[in-house]
Structure 1
């Protein structure tokens, strides 16, 4: 069969790697792809947001299955367009992808269906938001309602910071139209855990757990990013926590969406905070997480194409997920200055060390070919992922592998998975 992957980051590289392992797949396309993805797929120069162009391509090439990695095309309705054309595609329809496309919607959904989350209020007026902040306890969390590349969240320690944050999001439009509405949320403390789950509209099948590191600098300092590294599994996601989440969060979310006439088919990403009162939802995403995918999929034993098809066909209850009894850690190698200003176009050395390995991976995010040379082409350049028999070994292996790769302006956090030492 022919498969089309939509996207161009490390998540899509991990998907290409996993899909290529399926005995059912003969050909993989990726639009637009990157230098690393081209090892597994034919990269096609179509933007991930060119929904009609992607549908035309899938029809012309007789693509059997399209897998969408990115949030933008899902929220814009790519699944609806493909289905109208009779094309098979994995991901939620537009009316279900709103669970990520609007934080205000998702918070209201959780409140309506008693799904545990932080207390919040939604605002469309900056003055009203500021007036509300004057009665809040600090720190407080400001969230742009719409999509903002994983960066639309501000943690404010003082009222003055929060006022500046409201102005930045709602008036200065730091995150564009994503800031037309604002969610003001109580600040929760605890361990963060990410869980990706396959969904067919009725059945929810959670994968192994992971933990992301969102801040740009060590010790969770600096600006929010798309993710600077992750590890799997989380030692804090115990069987007790898992059971609670399945009963009180995952299944109720599926049922809530169905009750709202928004059957969710695809990947539900649940960001959790393990608070003293129990697990609560930080956020929902409607697709694979990045960089969580880079540590979850290498540990997955199943043929992922069979799982995708079970989701589409409504037969997910017949699938049993299996994961290797080991661990994986991903360290993001970024361009110094990310997530703000950085230079591109630097030659990347050392990638040949990863060829053919089943324990070490260099998942490409911001890379491209310049002639025969692979150069940096983004803020997050590579996700260096390594396996180990346990988390500590995987962490040591990942940082060892980071030294294999060199490029000018290379930057990474030095404390990815440091929480492992405290477990």
Structure 2
């Protein structure tokens, strides 16, 4: 079977790596991809934002499955365009993708179906938003969120009223996040352990893929600006079966039922950002795709055939007993350009990757690199590399990943030392 993966980041590199192991696979393509992916897939020069271009390529090459990685193309409805031409696609419909596209939609769904989440208010007017806080509807600390997509950066935790007002002004007045921040959510700050929880859904049936911990802040000890994720870890000891069952019963199943009731059944992977509080699990937000960098630590633990699994979901034939993760622990460290998530330089030379890629129990996924004229790897974005290591425990995997990173020669790069 021929498969096309849409995307070019570390998440897509990990997906390609996992799919490449399937005996069902005859040819793997990626659009737009990166040079580092060429040993796994053929790079395709098509416009992934143009559904017609994607559909024509799939028909021309007789593609059996399209896997959409980034949220942008999912939310813009690429899945619908492919499905309309009878092309198997692993991604939810545009209607179901409102779970991520509009936080207010998800909040209202939670309210209607009794799904536990933070108390909130929804605003398009900065004065009404500030009055909501002045009147102690929600007390500080609180969270101000852009209602739309903001690449993981549209969430501001506010410890004081002044910080909250500044966050409101940043989004509604200064338009820091453009259209994504023209509408905002103000919600209570939940206390507990944050976890990324992944399930596969075929429209009706649901099965757990696994969970991971994401480190969103730019600096050690979870300080500094929010980013797209500075690292992640996954372990069989991260969550009890009892807690997993509570999440499924209280959060996932009601959501799947709600979307089915709306006539927009969900098919694909669903990523629930959760806070495990003293009162049980509560939903922070949904993402309608594989997480980044969580995918990079979960897929290396996957023991079943990812391609076979994805096909079963597109055909509504999911076997809920298929998914199996091994008992290893994994840690991923994201290496970024200095200055990320704000201003950063590109084109700087990265050395040492050959030594790292040759290490036992270590994987390298490229998120933002390219080759220069001399054949050197150079940084091509803010998020540049994902270094992943296996171990019997998180501590062992952590030791291996930082040992690997000691070979990296890139003064213009930066990473956290406390992942895991």
TM-score category of the 2 structures, normalised to the smaller one: over 0.9
Runs of 4+ in 1 over 3 A off after TM superposition: 354-358
Residue 356 of structure 1: how far off its partner (Å): 6.5
How is 1:8-407 mapped onto 2 (pairs within 5 angstroms)? Answer: 8-134=8-134, 135=136, 136-233=138-235, 235-317=237-319, 319-355=321-357, 359-371=361-373, 372-407=375-410
Structure 2, unpaired ranges of 5+: none
48-57 or 162-171, which deviates more: 48-57
Contact 1:12 1:37 survives alignment (8 Å): no
C-alpha change, 1:116 and 1:318, in structure 2 (3 Å) is closer
1:411 equivalenced with 2:410 (yes/no): no
Structure 1 CA distance, aligned partners of 2:240 and 2:10?
A: 28
1:235 CA displacement: 3.9
Give the Cα separation in 2 of the matches to 1:316 and 1:128: 46
**Contact 1:208-1:233 within 8 A present in 2 as well:** no
Q: Which runs of 5+ in 1 are unaligned?
A: 418-423
- Contact preservation (8 Å) 2:206, 2:320: no
User: Is residue 218–residue 414 contact of structure 1 (8 Å, CA) maintained in 2?
Assistant: yes
Contact 2:235-2:327 within 8 A present in 1 as well: no
Say if 1:415 and 1:234 are closer, same or farther in 2 by CA, change over 3 A: farther
**CA shift at 1:115, angstroms?**
0.8
Structure 2 counterpart SS, 1:325: coil
**How far has the Cα of 1:352 moved from its partner?**
1.8
Question: For residue 420 of structure 1, what is the aligned residue in structure 2?
Answer: none
The alpha-carbon deviation at position 403 of structure 1 amounts to 1.6
Distance, in Å, in 1 between the alignment partners of 2:45 and 2:292 is 22
Shift of 1:125: 1.7
What do residues 250-275 of structure 1 show as CA deviations (whole Å, max 9, x unaligned)?
11111111112220001100111011
Q: Secondary structure at the match of 2:96?
A: helix
Computed over aligned residues only, the root mean square deviation of the Cα atoms, in angstroms, reads 1.4
Question: What TM-score does the superposition give when structure 2 sets the normalisation length?
Answer: 0.96
Answer yes or no: is the 8 Å Cα contact 1:118–1:282 preserved in 2: yes
Q: Which moved more, 1:399-408 or 1:297-306?
A: 399-408
Would the aligned equivalents of 1:269 and 1:288 in 2 still touch at CA under 8 Å? yes
Deviation for aligned residue 1:202: 0.7
1:308-352 deviations in Å (ceiling 9; x for gaps): 011111111354211111100001111111100110111221222
Question: How far apart in 2 are the matches of 1:252 and 1:65?
Answer: 29
Q: Aligned partners of 1:408, 1:308: CA distance in 2, in Å?
A: 40
Distance 2:291 2:320 in 1: 24
Distance 2:378 2:71 in 1: 25
Does structure 2 retain, via aligned residues, the 8 Å contact 1:11–1:69? yes
Q: How many residues align?
A: 417
Greater displacement, 303-312 / 170-179 = 170-179
State the alpha-carbon separation in 1 of the partners of residues 94 and 87 from structure 2. Answer: 16
